[in-house]
Structure 1
């Protein structure tokens, strides 16, 4: 993927400088709509794409922020969830329960971040990278809650699919608990809800054990 989307139909010459860089970036991130995740939709018999996932995360932050154990800046948390998966445009989606793919995930995503954010003007490039790094490091209340939302929504999708990726990747209830522990780290209330969902899914046979 060496060619930018905008290269297939360059912007008019009258658009230049900072604005040209910003519009080039916005056109390029349209690719996010084509990156398929493993998670099944609740509303249709197909998999969600990364853009749909990012929107749903932003909505989850707005709706569920009151359950965070630490006060969070909702606007900043929304920025974190909107930025964090942009790197998958070049790095691809890495399924949570695909242990082999996760071994190279950090290296692939670091390279993708450097390439993608470099399309923006320098100040915005730095800002995007800082947001992405903040999400990955989980050192702030906002980043911890953002990560919790990133783990919570697939739990709901798999519940609605009566197993979904849990069964597809042969994930036991204990594996699901282990890989979604960041929910409990950010919100005791949402962590308890997660525990109820996993326990009932296990009882129904919607996990691998």
Structure 2
């Protein structure tokens, strides 16, 4: 049980590791754990839109997709031009001694291979989480996110992911809040 407790402490470290790409977007920032929560919500939604997807497997894959960053940190695209992280070794060491370690390794390998429906949906969920953040910042008046959105959308591989991206693009980030405000106050005054 001690090894499992150590694993859980390590996983919780993701709350303190910040995603490094956000430094190029102005005010945006989030921890890896915050990102993972968003990816899980999106993956659940994509599974509902994709009836052939194995929802449990998809969610487990999303839960662990960035777990190696507890050991490696989060490297953005520029940093990856100069620093080579050994994710495979990080996952191997992280999984060592865990009764479910091989399951974690398998899920991360499947995510990275992008060959199964669940892996493609998980990768789309990962990109859509970023797209939602970009759209929110853009709607608040920041210009930098608009430069990145097209590149993020180009990475989407599933029909459900592409369709959801279109809806995100057409929806203002605070429309849900405004609808509640209008309904509760009888209209804007």
With structure 1 as the length reference, what TM-score do the two structures score? Answer: 0.67
Instruction: List runs of 5+ in structure 1 lacking aligned partners.
Output: 1-18, 202-209
CA contact (8 A) 1:39 1:157 kept: no
Alpha-carbon distance in structure 2 between the residues aligned to 1:80 and 1:134: 8
The alignment status of 1:135 with 2:111, answered yes or no, reads yes
Q: Aligned-pair distance for 1:28? A: 1.8
**Does residue 181 of the first structure (1) align with residue 116 of the second (2)?**
no
- Count the aligned residue pairs: 167
TM-score when scaled to structure 2?
0.73
Structure 1 vs Structure 2 CA RMSD: 3.1
Q: How does 1:46-195 map to 2 (within 5 A)?
A: 47-68=29-50, 71-95=52-76, 98=77, 100-103=78-81, 107-121=85-99, 124-162=100-138, 167=144, 172=147, 176-183=149-156, 185-187=157-159, 189-195=160-166
Runs of 4+ displaced beyond 6 Å: 163-166
Residues 35-79 of structure 1: CA distance to partner in whole angstroms, max 9, x if unpaired? 111476xxxx662111111122112222232333x7211111000
Distance 1:85 1:160, change over 3 A: same
Taking the aligned partners of 1:38 and 1:115, their CA distance within structure 2 comes to 24
Q: 1:34 to 1:186 in 2, by over 3 A?
A: same
